[in-house]
């Protein structure tokens, strides 16, 4: 491998050495190149002095790394202090004994600074600045990183020479191989699929509900269209909320259904469409355009053109860019906690458990019957048949929506 050595006199020396070479042998090569005796050489790697008996690989030196050679007037071979005194020494935790002297020394070496800007821009920026505390923190962080890498290398070497019949050693080898595969997969993803690491912005479009402009969250994974209590009040619809449809919205968590607004006009593009809403007490999720209305109004989510078409293509509205979406809607973690159960941010569709018998508003409402037999089911069939639909189509629609008469009617009218 090739290493670069920077001398105190700003001389740059390139050496081709083996990774298992000792520091003492490197100094011998430097003596030939620089005419500086071995006894007067002090080699520093990442600010730490290198012992004569240490091997380059053990110190973490890699191909194209930079070493710094200080010249000492002391002829002892035990590694004397540099010419600038002990100010350039390092603490055991990797920080500088005298950070100001260390900073001035490195800043005064233009070649070394140029090398640092290429290999470690963060450290170079800190050295160029004036915050000595931050410099010490970065030096300690680099020391910890080197310690971790050194420990990992030692563990890998130990595994290479481990007893092949040692079960624990084999488990560690298996884990190391698996982790290597994961790391390679991650690197490949960074290269070929970098967009996979970016945040995905959910789909929002501009709509008007009862004349009030809103940012509507389009969610085909939510069973019903949802409006928050505060938003319904702002749109003048809360007075129409039918509390006989109270229930629980279930999914990843659950939320209380306050009631239902049976019909209100929404404006998409330049056209108006009838829409029904489930009302939840969810402050961070104003209006969710769910699967029931997507299906009823024959909507298409076109991600290639980044638009939603309505009415089989008669209206086309663009999905909003991130800058056009209120920041409170983009705080997905908080919305998930506060609007859990609404389907607002979770693509695993939330479903409703609600009461839908409306014969007696003051009585306790029975739970919805999902069976396809019995007098209640026959009564629903009769009511829908009276609207002009065939009995077979009515039965299929009721089964599709688990006996929900309103959703079945909406489906039949939409078809």
* Active-site pick, 18, 93, 166, 219: 219
Q: Is the dihedral of CA 363, 368, 374, 378 positive or negative?
A: positive
**Pairwise CA distance, residues 366 & 383, whole Å:** 19
The rounded distance, in Å, linking the Cα atoms of 305 and 163 is 60
Is 224 in contact with 290 (CB distance < 8 Å)? Answer: yes
Per DSSP, helices labelled H in 38-129 are 99-107, 110-119, 121-128
Instruction: Check if the beta carbon of residue 298 is closer than 8 Å to that of residue 414.
Output: yes
- Provide the total of helices (H) and of strands (E) in the chain, helices listed first: 13, 16
| Strand, helix or coil for residue 218 | strand
219 is catalytic: yes
CA 188 distance to own-chain centroid = 18
Contacts of the segment 293-298: beta carbons below 8 A, 24+ positions apart: 293/225, 294/218, 294/220, 295/411, 295/414, 296/410, 296/411, 296/413, 296/414, 297/268, 297/273, 297/414, 298/414
* Catalytic sites, residue numbers: 219
């Amino acid at each position: 491998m090739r290493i670069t050595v920077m001398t105190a006199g700003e001389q740059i020396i390139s050496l081709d050495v083996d990774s298992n070479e000792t520091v003492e042998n490197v100094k011998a090569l430097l003596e030939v190149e620089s005419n500086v005796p071995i006894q007067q050489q002090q080699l520093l790697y990442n600010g730490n002095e290198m012992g004569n008996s240490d091997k380059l690989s053990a110190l973490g030196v890699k191909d194209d790394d930079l070493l710094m050679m200080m010249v000492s007037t002391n002829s002892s071979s035990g590694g004397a202090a540099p010419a600038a005194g002990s100010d350039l020494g390092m603490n055991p935790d990797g920080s500088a004994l005298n950070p100001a002297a260390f900073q001035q020394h490195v800043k005064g070496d233009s070649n070394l600074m140029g090398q640092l800007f290429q290999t470690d821009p963060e450290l170079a920026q800190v050295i160029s600045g004036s915050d000595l505390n931050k410099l010490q923190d970065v030096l300690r962080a680099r020391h910890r990183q080197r310690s971790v890498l050194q420990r990992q290398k030692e563990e890998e070497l130990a595994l290479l020479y481990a007893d092949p019949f040692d079960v624990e050693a084999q488990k560690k080898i298996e884990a190391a191989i698996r982790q290597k595969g994961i790391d390679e997969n991650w690197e490949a993803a960074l290269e070929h699929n970098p967009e996979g690491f970016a945040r995905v912005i959910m789909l929002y479009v501009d709509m008007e509900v009862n004349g009030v402009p809103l940012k509507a969250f389009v969610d085909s994974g939510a069973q019903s269209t949802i409006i928050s209590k505060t938003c319904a009040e702002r749109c003048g619809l809360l007075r129409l909320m039918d509390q006989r449809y109270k229930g629980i919205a279930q999914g990843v968590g659950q939320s209380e259904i306050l009631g239902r607004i049976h019909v209100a006009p929404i404006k998409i593009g330049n056209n108006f469409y009838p829409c029904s809403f489930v009302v939840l007490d969810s402050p961070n999720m104003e209006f969710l355009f769910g699967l029931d209305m997507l299906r009823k109004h024959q909507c298409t989510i076109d991600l290639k053109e980044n638009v939603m078409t309505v009415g089989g293509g008669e209206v086309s509205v663009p999905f909003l860019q991130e800058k056009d979406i209120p920041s409170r809607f983009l705080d997905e973690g908080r919305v998930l906690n506060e609007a859990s159960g609404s389907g607002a941010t979770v693509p695993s569709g939330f479903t409703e458990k609600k009461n839908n018998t409306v014969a007696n508003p003051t009585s306790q409402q029975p739970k919805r019957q999902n069976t396809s037999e019995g007098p209640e089911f026959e009564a629903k069939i009769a009511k829908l048949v009276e609207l002009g639909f065939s009995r077979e189509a009515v039965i299929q629609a009721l089964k599709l929506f688990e006996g929900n008469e309103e959703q079945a009617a909406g489906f039949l009218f939409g078809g």
